[in-house]
Structure 1
Amino acid sequence: MEEEKGRRNVPVLPWMRSPIDVGVFDECPLSLLPCLHPGLEEALRKMGFNSLFPVQVAVWQETIGPGAFERDLCINSPTGSGKTLAYALPIVQALSTRNVKCLRALVVLPTRDLALQVKEVFASIAPAVGLTVGLAVGQTSIADEISVLIKKPKLEAGVFYDPKGRPAELQTSVDILVATPGRLMDHINTTKGFSLQHLRYLVVDETDRLLREAYQSWLPTVLKITSAKENDFFALNHTFGGSTVGCLRTIRKCGIERGYKGKSFPRLVKIVLSATLTQDPSKLSQLDLHQPLFLTTGSKRYKLPDKLESYNVICESKLNKPLYLASLLQDLKGEKCIVFTSKVESTHRLCILLNSFDGLGFKIKEYSGLQRQSVRSKTLRAFREGEVQVLVASDAMTRGMDVEGVRNVINYDLPPYIKTYIHRAGRTARAGQAGRCFTLLRSHEVKQFNKMLQKADNESCSTHPLPADSIELLRPLYISALEKLKKCTESENLKRRTSSFKLSRTLKVKKPTNQKK
C-alpha cells in the first residue's frame, strides 16, 4: 500500500478534477430506460431487477445512443452499488447489434472467485441476445477451458475444415471472456486460435489492485496485441492497392466491426473501475486511456455505503479479543456474518478457536488463501445458502465478492488503511440494503481508527456495548478453547513435518556414479 503512504504528494489528473457525480442520478425503472433491448429487459426482470441503480443509469447514459463509448470510462463507486451490471449491460447491448462470432469483450479480475461471480452476471443476460460468455481462471485444466473457448472444426490430414468443407482456421467460440491475468496469459501464449485481434471492450475491474501487481505483464501484452489492429488495417490497405472498400470488406468478413470517427478500424474501449480507484498518474498511464471520463460518487474519494452503520467494540486486551468476538457473535444471534483478519494464518487459527467454543450455536467456516480453490468455492456456496452462518476470512474476500443477506461485517484486526476498511465493510449494506460493520479495538487504537474513518467522511462511529455478564459466562469456555487450539496446532505441525520428511525422502536422488564401459 505504498500508494496510500505517498498519496498526499501525487498530483490529481486534470480529467479527474471535473467528474460526473453519480449521486445526482436517481434509480430508473427498466420500462423507462432508453434503447434497452427487450430481451435484456426480460432477462433483468428474471434476475429480480425492476430498475437500475444510479451508477448503472449514469454509465448507461454515457454508453448508449449518440456518442456511445466515445471516451474511456473510469468509475469510482462504493462497494455494493452495482458496478458489475453497470458495465455488463451496455457491453452486451452493444455487442448484440452485430451478428459475428469472435472474442470482442474481455473482463479481467484479480481473483478466481470474483471472476466466477462476474461471469454469472454476464451469463444471466448475454444469452438473451444470442451472445456466449467464457471463463478463463484456472479452476479447471487448460485443456478443458480450450475445449469451451475454441471452435472445433473437422480435422483431416492436419488441415481444419469448416462445416461446409472449406479450409478453416481455429478461432474463439465466445463473444465475452471473463479472466484472471495469469490464465489469460496462458491462453495468449499457448492456445492456438485464441485471439484478441477483434477485441472491442476491455474492462479492468478492481483496477487499483490489478495495476499494483504485475501479473505476468498482462496489461502491456493485451494493449500491444490490440493496438496491432491499426497496423493490420494499413497492411491490408496496401495489399488491396489502396482500396479502402476492399480492405473494409476483408475486415468485416473477419468479424471486425465498423470503425471509430471515420477511421476504418475500431478503437479499443476501456472501462476501469473500483470502490477505491487510484489517482496516481503513473499507474493510470499504464492503461493508455482515451479522453477518459471520470464517474464518481460525491466529492470524497472514499465513500461508504449509504445504509452502513459503523460501530467499535472496545476490548480490554489483545489476549481477550477472541472472547469479545465470541460474545459479539452471540449478541448478533446467528445473523449471517463475515469476520475479517489481516493474515491468512490468523484466519486459520481464529476459525479453529471459535469452533472450539462449546455451545455457540452456529456454524463457522474458514475462507482464506491457504485453502484450495475447490474448498473455498464449496465454503462460499454453503455460506450463500445459509448452511454456514459465520465466515472467518482473510482479505481475499474483501474485493467485490457479493453474498446476499450478509447483515454484519466484523473487523477482528484493525484495517491498516481506509481502502481496506471500505472493501471489508462493503460486503454488507449492498444494493440499497442496510448493514453493520463492527471493529474490535483496544483503547489506544480508537483515535487512530476514528482518524481513518474521517477520510471517508464518516464521523458517526458509535461504541457497541457488550454485556459484562455474557463475557464472564464465556470465559471458562474460552480457556478450554485455547487448550484445544494448542493441541490442534501441535497436531497440524506434526503432520506437516511428517509430510515434508516423506516428500524429501521420495525426491531424494542418489549421486550419479561414473562407470567405464
Structure 2
Amino acid sequence: MLDFDMLGLAPTLNAALKRAGLTEPTPIQNQAIPLAMDGHDVLGLAQTGTGKTLAFGLPLINTLLDQPGKPKPKTVKALILAPTRELVNQIADNLRPLTEGSKIFVATVVGGQSINRQIGVLARGVDVLVATPGRLIDLMDRGSVDLSQTRHLVLDEADQMLDLGFIHALRRIAPKLGTPRQTMLFSATMPKQMEELSRAYLNNPRRVQVSPPGKAADKITQSVHFVEKPGKPGKLREILSRDPDALTLVFSRTKHGAEKLMKGLVADGYNAASIHGNKSQGQRDRAIKAFREGSITTLVATDVAARGIDIPGVSYVINYDLPEVPDNYVHRIGRTARAGREGEAIAFCSTEEADLLHQIQKLMKIEVPVASGDSPLENGAPGRSRKPSNRRGGGGGGGGQHKRGGGKPQGQKSKGGKPEAANADGANGNRRRRSRGRRRAA
C-alpha cells in the first residue's frame, strides 16, 4: 500500500499526518485522494469507520494551501455539509490538526449554539466551513454568509441527509454556490435517490467504492437472539453482565423507549446514559464524553446517533429494537470494529420484528447466526437463519456462544448525532406509518 507521502500532498500535510501517527491511507483514502487532487468530482462509497473524512479533507486542504489570499469578509472557500451537529464537530476536529501553522481557517455553524457568535466568525471570512444545512440557511437568510465564492462542496453522509429531509435545504443552498466548482459526495449506502442526487450535483464524477453497499465491516461478529418483547430487558442485562467494563452501545427505536431503558439500567446499578432527540446539546455532549472516557459503559441511543459516534473502543453494539430501515442496521453495527479493531453486533428479534430481520438479511445478503431462541420465521421462509457461520462481518459471528470480552477499551474522540433541520426520531415514525399504510393498502 502507498504511504501518505507518496500521494503528492503538501509537506505541511505530510508532517501533520506523521504527528498524528498516520502513515498509510485507508482504501477509500488511497483511491479518492488522487482523484480529488486532480480536480475530479468524486462519489465515494464506503462503510462507516473507513476514514472518509480524510478522504475528502486532505485533498481539500491541499488545494486551499495552493490558493493565494485570504477569504473576503462573509465569504467561504469550501463548504462541507453534514446532517448532524455532532458530525459537524467531529469533521472539524479531524481537519483542524491538519491546518496547524497554516493560513487555513476551519469554522463550524450548527444549531444549539449562539448564532451571533457564528455571525461574528463568518464576518472575517472562512476557508473551510463545516455546517448543518438548517443553521446555514438561517445565516443565509440573515445575509451573514456569502457563498458565491465557494468553489468546493462536500456532502458527507449524504444518504442520511436524504433520509432526514435535507434535500430541500440542499436545493436552496446549491444555487448560491460559485461555479465552476468541485463537488464530493460521500456515503455509506447507495439508495436509488442517491443516484439522482449525484446526477443533479456532480459533474462526471469518479466513483470510488471500497465495499458493497449494505455490507458490514469484516471484523464485526454478528448474532441474533430470538426473544419476545417482555424478555428483552432480562436478555440485555444478561449480556451486559458478562463484560461490565466493555463499552456497549444499545439502540432503541424510539426516544421514549431509549429513556425508559436507560433509567431501568441505572436503577439496576449499570453505568448507563442515553442520547436521543429530546436531549439537549449539553446533555448529549456530556453523555458521549463520559462514554468515551469509560465512566459510562452503556450508552442507549436512537438512530439519531447511528452515524456520528466515532469511538474505536466500542466493543459491542446491541440492537435492542431492530430498525425499520434496513440500511440503519448497517450504520448501527458500524459503530463497533472501528480503526482496525474487532467488535460484536448482537440483535434482539421478536415475532413482530421477523420481517425486519428478513429485510436486513436480504440487504446484507447474509443470514445472521442464531445465538438463542427459536426463529419466528416459518420454515423455508426467505431470510430464515439456519446454521451459524464462522465468517465475520458479511457472514456473521461464531454461532450461538458469544463471549463478551476485550476489557475496558481506551477512550477515543466521539460524536453522536442530532439532526438540524429535521428530527430523526419523528422522521422514522412518519416513515413507519407510511410503510404500514402501504402494507395495508397492498
TM-score above 0.5: yes
1:297 aligns with 2:266: no
Compute the displacement of 1:455 (Å).
2.1
- Name the residue aligned to 2:234: 323
Taking the aligned partners of 2:344 and 2:195, their CA distance within structure 1 comes to 36
Compute the displacement of 1:130 (Å).
2.4
Alignment of 1:257-268 (within 5 A): 267-268=180-181
Please say if residues 75 and 296 of structure 1, whose CA atoms lie closer than 8 Å, have aligned partners that are also in contact: yes
Please say if residues 409 and 425 of structure 1, whose CA atoms lie closer than 8 Å, have aligned partners that are also in contact: yes
Taking the aligned partners of 2:302 and 2:163, their CA distance within structure 1 comes to 19
Taking the aligned partners of 1:292 and 1:279, their CA distance within structure 2 comes to 17
Please say if residues 309 and 461 of structure 1, whose CA atoms lie closer than 8 Å, have aligned partners that are also in contact: no
Alignment of 1:115-126 (within 5 A): 115-126=88-99
1:92 aligns with 2:61: yes
Compute the displacement of 1:188 (Å).
1.1
Compute the displacement of 1:213 (Å).
4.1
SS of corresponding position for 1:79 = coil
- Name the residue aligned to 1:273: 186
Taking the aligned partners of 1:429 and 1:126, their CA distance within structure 2 comes to 29
- Name the residue aligned to 2:357: 449
Going from structure 1 to structure 2, the CA distance change for 1:340 and 1:134 (only over 3 Å counts) comes to: same
- Name the residue aligned to 2:425: none
Compute the displacement of 1:332 (Å).
2.8
Please say if residues 322 and 349 of structure 2, whose CA atoms lie closer than 8 Å, have aligned partners that are also in contact: yes
- Name the residue aligned to 2:250: 339
Q: What's the CA shift string for 1:257-294, capped at 9, x where partnerless?
A: xxxxxxxxx52111111111323377416743211222
- Name the residue aligned to 2:32: 59
Q: What's the CA shift string for 1:472-504, capped at 9, x where partnerless?
A: xxxxxxxxxxxxxxxxxxxxxxxxxxxxxxxxx
Going from structure 1 to structure 2, the CA distance change for 1:51 and 1:292 (only over 3 Å counts) comes to: same
- Name the residue aligned to 1:427: 335
Compute the displacement of 1:376 (Å).
0.5
Compute the displacement of 1:458 (Å).
3.0
Residue type of the alignment partner of 1:60 = I
Compute the displacement of 1:216 (Å).
8.7
Please say if residues 106 and 179 of structure 1, whose CA atoms lie closer than 8 Å, have aligned partners that are also in contact: yes
Percent identity, aligned pairs only, is 30
Compute the displacement of 1:446 (Å).
5.5
Please say if residues 182 and 216 of structure 1, whose CA atoms lie closer than 8 Å, have aligned partners that are also in contact: no
SS of corresponding position for 2:100 = helix
Alignment of 1:330-409 (within 5 A): 330-358=241-269, 362-409=270-317
Q: What's the CA shift string for 1:385-432, capped at 9, x where partnerless?
A: 111111011111101321230011000001223201011001111122
Going from structure 1 to structure 2, the CA distance change for 1:453 and 1:462 (only over 3 Å counts) comes to: same
Residue type of the alignment partner of 1:124 = P
1:73 aligns with 2:42: yes
Aligned mate of 2:127, from 147, 150, 175: 175
Please say if residues 105 and 199 of structure 1, whose CA atoms lie closer than 8 Å, have aligned partners that are also in contact: yes
1:307 aligns with 2:307: no
Please say if residues 326 and 359 of structure 2, whose CA atoms lie closer than 8 Å, have aligned partners that are also in contact: no
Taking the aligned partners of 1:410 and 1:73, their CA distance within structure 2 comes to 34
Compute the displacement of 1:30 (Å).
2.6
SS of corresponding position for 1:408 = strand
Please say if residues 384 and 404 of structure 1, whose CA atoms lie closer than 8 Å, have aligned partners that are also in contact: no
Taking the aligned partners of 2:163 and 2:299, their CA distance within structure 1 comes to 27
- Name the residue aligned to 1:29: 3
Counting matched residue pairs gives 371
Q: What's the CA shift string for 1:316-364, capped at 9, x where partnerless?
A: x311211110111011332101000011110011011111214xxx411
Going from structure 1 to structure 2, the CA distance change for 1:141 and 1:191 (only over 3 Å counts) comes to: farther
Going from structure 1 to structure 2, the CA distance change for 1:127 and 1:195 (only over 3 Å counts) comes to: farther
Taking the aligned partners of 2:44 and 2:321, their CA distance within structure 1 comes to 29
| Structure 1 gap segments, 5+ residues each | 1-26, 152-171, 230-265, 468-517
Compute the displacement of 1:460 (Å).
5.2
Please say if residues 311 and 338 of structure 2, whose CA atoms lie closer than 8 Å, have aligned partners that are also in contact: no
Q: What's the CA shift string for 1:56-110, capped at 9, x where partnerless?
A: 010012122xxx123x211111011111111011100111001222221101111
What is the root-mean-square deviation in Å for CA atoms of aligned residues?
A: 2.2
- Name the residue aligned to 2:367: 459
Taking the aligned partners of 1:196 and 1:80, their CA distance within structure 2 comes to 30
Taking the aligned partners of 2:176 and 2:213, their CA distance within structure 1 comes to 33
Aligned mate of 1:218, from 161, 169, 190: 169
SS of corresponding position for 1:183 = helix
Going from structure 1 to structure 2, the CA distance change for 1:128 and 1:277 (only over 3 Å counts) comes to: farther
Going from structure 1 to structure 2, the CA distance change for 1:400 and 1:294 (only over 3 Å counts) comes to: farther
